Structure formats: structure tokens, C-alpha cells
Structure 1
């Protein structure tokens, strides 16, 4: 079957999507679809852009480039996080360069227009006595600080259902005290594939046992679905015992005041997210080579027996453990290029070489990301092949992918495609 997507409208491609199957090739590969994706999913929906601890002190600022926009996230003199467009109100020059910095005021290098950290224009030389500085403040960006995770929406009409994520996130992330963490390490990995393939790959673990030996030390493959008919009788018994253990452990955590059951807002919504407290395999403490804690100085309430609080959105995924946090942001760069930015957060007072070993902290997810990058590249090459036809998702291990594809089509339709 030949792929007719080069000659189809985006609407036709959306019509061609079949329930239970992957998307038509053009929805992964075409430039016009990529531009539509950027408009719909990265300008009109809430997106994760980084942790609050990226700007730990007043005057700290960092620049995030996403969806054609450059954003300044900073902490003002009163200790409040703010997000502005990185565009001078004079003639549009960039105010800050990429990366992190410390500032007392925001000064445009071009003509020295100067802004307070609250965004007000403080100084604009040679503009005349009738010039009104109050009309030329930096343009703010809609944002929400959800338990220490900063989400923004570039639209003036952001989806209201972010409220569900706020309510869940603030409660579930409270024990980890993200405000008192710091970034111990960051990696920027370019994956040679479409951003939806990156997200699909993260939303299933069908591939994990064959591709992620490091991660599978702490992950439990039964948690991610299985076909009971394919299991031997003894394996079915093992699965049943595991499910009973999970139910008991979830009930125990919740009785202690730590919400743990799965919460899913994945269909019939704008803001797509899922969260659940997962049991960590083996030693049960952290996602490290031996599943023991990497950091002796624990986060927040100081417990390393609360498993892995997992949270994902449509451009992010996170794992919260007692000793450290993994936070990942997906930034599309083109139809076939995606930036995966991952950060490892530890207690703000934790010292490398004293409180933790760097390799133990980072090696599992560095290896996992490299492995996933190769899989995404392999997938993109396949969907770009004329022989590709949308394949059937496993009803046992890829249900989340089916929901993601349906949500994607629904949101494109909601925005006129």
C-alpha cells in the first residue's frame, strides 16, 4: 500500500487514523503537520518548561526556546518565579542569550532599555517626555507552578483543565519539596525522529526488557501490561501475586497520607497527564544500577520507601524518588528532530562526591535515553518508508499509545484541522 500522504490534506490524514492503530505516516513526517503540531500542542496547550529550581535565588534567570518563542524564566527580588517573552518592547531584540545567568535588572543589549525583574520598563533613553513607560512592560507568559514544575501556555486563552493537574500535582509532589532541590546534571539529546514517536516510546514498556537492561533493574515489567494467555501457568500465578502486592502497597501508602493510585486525564481533555506511585524493583529505593538510593541526603520528608511517583504530560515525563528526581522535557525541532532535555535533581545541599556518586546518580537514565534515541530514530526511518502502514497496538501493553493517538487527533480537530 502506497502512502498518499504527500497529496493529502492534514484533515484527510486525521480521517485516515484507525482506532487501535498507529498514525498515518504523514502525521509523523510532513513539514506542514509539524508546523500544525507546533501551533496546536506547543502554543495553545500547557507545556512543561523546567523545574522551579532552575532559578533558585532572586536574580537567577534562564532562557527556554520552544515553539519559535524565547522565554525568560526568573526569580524576582521578592522570591517569586516569573516568565516573560524574551523580546524587548522597543524593536524586538532578544534581551538575554541562551542559557542561565544572574541579573539585577533585564537590560536589552541593543539600546539599553532596562526592565525590572517584575517586567516593568524602568529606563528607555531618548524617547521623549510623552513616552509612557507603563505601556511597554515585558509581555508576561501564562504559567503555573505545579509543585515545583513550571508549565506555560503561549496562548492568551489557555486550557482551563490545567486545574486538575494542579490539584493532583501539588498534593503528590509536596513530599519531595522541589523548591529545595538543585540541578545536579543536565543532558540535551537530539533524537532523529518526530516528537510523537519520542512520546509514544516513553508511554510503553513493551520494548523495555529487550532494550533497557539498566532500567529494568528497578522497573517491574508486569506493571506495564501483559497478555495473560501468553504466560505459563506459573507466570500467571506470579502476575496475580504481583497485582495483589501492588494493591496492598498502594493501600498502605495511601493510608499513610501519600496518594498513590493511578490518575489519568488522557482522553476528552486538553491537558493530557497521568500519574501513579510505582513500586521500585529489587532494593526498592531508586532508579540506579542496584536500585539503592544514589543520594544519602534525602529529599523533602526524608523517606526512600515511597517508590517512584511517576508523572507525565504531553511533552514531559518525571520520576520522583526519595533521593533524587528525574525530569524530562521534549522540544520538537523539526519533523524528524526532537530535543530531549533531562535533568537530575538532588537536595540543594547535597554535595557530589560526599553525598552522592555522580555515575550512580546518572548512569541508568543516560543509558536509557541513548537506547531510546536509537529506537526513535529506527521508528522514524520506518514510518518514512513507502512500505509503512499503520500497525496494530498491543491491547495489553500499548493502550496508552492508542489513547495518545486518539487524543492527538481530537485536539487537532478542536483547533480546526
Structure 2
């Protein structure tokens, strides 16, 4: 990875404009993004509901990096690099599972749920098992959501914990279950996927179903109709539900009103789940949107939480994972119909896939020049790209300093 070339690309970026072509398409940029952005940031990994009992695990990929999250016998949730300390094989296959111990399928090295190596056959007498446990990663939980950071020195997490907890806790994610999960392969750079997910400039025409309930013409905090928003905010205050906004440069959360006459973020604006995640306000509490840079956003309503994750695979491919969480006691076919639950966001994700892939195809043109964002319609896209550039430039500055010191 040539940092001088990367720095030149960032130096060419005009404020308020889309990124230079090379920051979307160059394979060296993807390697940089994984190291400087995904390797240095807090990432939303999933939900405590996915590792409910001791021995439950979530095996996931961050790009090409295998990650393992396990609930131990002491009820603590821990994160590890999912790489055997023998020759590096993946210990637990991707997905969810449960195991009394973690056993590598290659040579049967076996670890306890805390990552400690228990057994390694046919090793010499001077082999020290205590030196070969699974390598840990940083993991934090907030109101049922799990966050990981792969950096040895992660960014401060305390403000997010303090400010997000009261906004998210009413949605009862500690008593949720994943009702459905989908993965879309999008042939577009991950930053184009995320820019698309950070603006609604395209929503009125690109998402006619979403536009029924979602305030698609709103700006940063989704308050396009001031009178409607003021009434909603007063009602939330009376119910004791905080609305925010709360934020740092790498995350943002706020509760907002759905369009007038709409009580649920569904295909017809009507509730679809009888067993609510939040019973306050009889289910009419808008949506609490929370977003984490660089890769996710969630909408938590009274009925469900929808979570969106974008993971880079190559400069031209991104995997978009969607998760729908409902109350742990909600019964499919009784309390909700799965097709209706997932309809709105499935359609929206498929529409966004087409839009992002078309965007990527155009960025490949020799005639591509970065155009200006709309400050009114795309403030969150500007926020994302500005954060990305600051994060990248801070990493480049540290690397330059380290290389000068080494020289």
C-alpha cells in the first residue's frame, strides 16, 4: 500500500464534493480503508440476542477478516479473532452456533469459551498452552447492541454508551430475537453503498414504498413538517421517551416522527407485529434511527429493529446484511407474518442495490468528475465523507510520523 499515492488522492478531494475516482476504485484504497478505517473504528457487530446462552457464538466477517463473538459460562460476551493459534484456520464457521468448547476443525486444537487453549495434541513437552489462546478484540455492549474494535487502542466509547443508552433501552433489545436475516451482494464500492444509505435525496422517486411512511424530504434530523414534528416531540416528552439528537462525529441517534397518519414503518404504515418491543405510546412512537460510521444504520420502532450493515469485499463488491429483530416472545404466524415484516426494507434494499450499482458504473467512466453534494438534501452523506476523510488523514499523519521516527 503506497501511502504517498493514497495521500495524493485525499489531497485532491474538494470539500463538499464526492470523492476522487481513485478513492472508490483503486484496489490500494480498499486495503487502506480496511486498515485505517475498519481496523481503527468501533463497528456494530450484532446483538446480544444472537448469543443469548453460554456457548452461543456469532461468527462474522469484517471484510476478509474472520471475527468470533462468544458468550462465556460466566455470562460475559467476548470477541476474538476467529483464527486458530496453530496455523490460522477459522475455528467456527460463519453464522450462529453453540458449542461447549471451540474446536478448530483442522487439527482439533480446542479452546474454552474464554479463548484459553485447552488441548493441542502431539506438541512438544516445552509447548506452553497458556501462550496460545485465541487473540481477543475489544467488545462493548449498549442496551443489547454489540460493538467491536480491532485496534489495539480503540477510540473512546464512553460518550456513545452514555448518550445512546437512554435512547435505545426502551426498545428492549435485550429481549429480542432475530426473526430474519438477508445478505445482498452489491457490485459497488462500499463508500458508494454507504453514501446512498446516508441520504434521501433519491428517496421520493427511488423508494415509493418507503416514502409513504418515511419523511423523505427531510434534512438532518427528519423534521420536514415543523408543526407535525413539534407535536410528536411534545408527545414523546409526555411519554418519557427521549428523542435526541445525540451524536459524535462517528455516530448519530435521534427519534423522529413518521409521516402524518402513519403509525408504523411498514409497507402500508400500519402495525405488523402484535407483540411490541416497546409498549409505551401504544406503538405510535415513530422511529429511533441510530447510525454508526463507517458501515451501519438501524431503525428501532415499537414493533421491530431493522439493522443494516455494509461490509467491503473488494473495490467493486459490498455485502449488505439486513437483520430484523422482534420481541423474543413474538411467534411467527401468530404475532407477525414474516413476509409482511420484511417487505418494506427488502424492497428498499433491492432498490438501493440497483441505485448503488448504477452509481458505481458511472464512477468508472473516464468522464467522471466529483460533483457537489446538496447541503439541504445530503447533509448526512457530507457528514459521512467528511468523517471518512478526517479519519484517513489522521491515520496518514500518524504513519508519516512513525516512519520519520523510525528513519
Q: TM-score, normalised by structure 1?
A: 0.89
* Aligned residue in 1 for 2:404: none
Q: Distance between the aligned counterparts of 1:98 and 1:317, measured in 2?
A: 22
- Contact 2:167–2:244 under 8 Å retained in 1: no
Please tell me whether residue 148 in structure 1 is matched to residue 148 in structure 2: no
Total equivalences in the alignment: 393
3-state DSSP of counterpart to 2:154: coil
Query: Is the aligned partner of 1:404 residue 2:399?
Result: no
Q: Alignment partner of 2:229: what SS? A: helix
2:341 counterpart (357, 361, 370): 361
3-state SS in 2 of match to 1:344: strand
Return the alpha-carbon distance in structure 2 between the equivalents of residues 37 and 218 of structure 1: 35
- Paired residue for 2:284? 305
Tell me, yes or no, if the aligned pair for 1:206 and 1:224 is still in contact at 8 Å: no
Distance of 2:328 and 2:245 partners within structure 1:
29
Q: Is the 8 A contact 1:105 1:114 kept in 2?
A: yes
1:10 Cα offset (Å):
1.7
Which sections of structure 1, spanning at least 5 residues, go unmatched? 1-5, 227-238, 267-271
Q: Among 339, 359, 377, which residue is 1:379 paired with?
A: 359
Are 2:177 and 1:172 aligned? no
The answer to whether structure 1 residue 77 and structure 2 residue 90 are counterparts is no
CA distance in 1, matches of 2:136, 2:301: 33
1:64 CA displacement: 0.5
Map of 1:191 onto structure 2: 186
Distance 2:224 2:145 in 1: 35
Partner of 1:109: 105
Q: Distance in 1 between matches of 2:164 and 2:220?
A: 25
Local SS of the residue matching 2:195 = helix
Does the alignment pair 1:252 with 2:248?
A: no
Cross-structure match for 2:62:
66
1:243 to 211, 226, 229: 226
Instruction: Tell me the distance in 2 between the aligned counterparts of 1:40 and 1:241.
Output: 36
Unaligned runs of 5+ residues in structure 2 are 398-407
Alpha carbons 1:320, 1:326 under 8 Å: kept: yes
> Which residue matches 1:273?
251
The match for 2:405 is none
* Partner Cα separation in structure 2 for residue 175 and residue 295 of structure 1: 17
Of residues 45-54 and 180-189 in structure 1, the stretch that sits farther from structure 2 once superposed is 45-54
Instruction: Provide Cα deviations, 1:131-164, integer angstroms capped at 9, x if missing partner.
Output: 332222211111111222211111101111x222
Equivalent residue of 2:254, what SS?
strand
Matched, 1:393 2:373: yes
User: CA separation in 1, counterparts of 2:102 and 2:224?
Assistant: 59
C-alpha RMSD of matched pairs (Å):
2.1
- Corresponding position: 1:138 with 2:134: yes
Distance in 1 between the 2:40 and 2:242 partners?
A: 30
Which residue is equivalent to 2:21?
A: 25
Residues 285 and 322 of structure 1 are in contact (CA less than 8 Å); yes or no, is this contact kept in structure 2? no
Give the whole-Å Cα distance in 2 for the aligned partners of 1:313 and 1:360: 27
Q: Give yes or no for the alignment of 1:56 onto 2:35.
A: no
How far is the alpha carbon of 1:300 from its aligned partner? 4.3
Deviation at 1:255, TM superposition (A): 4.4
Distance 2:23 2:351 in 1: 24
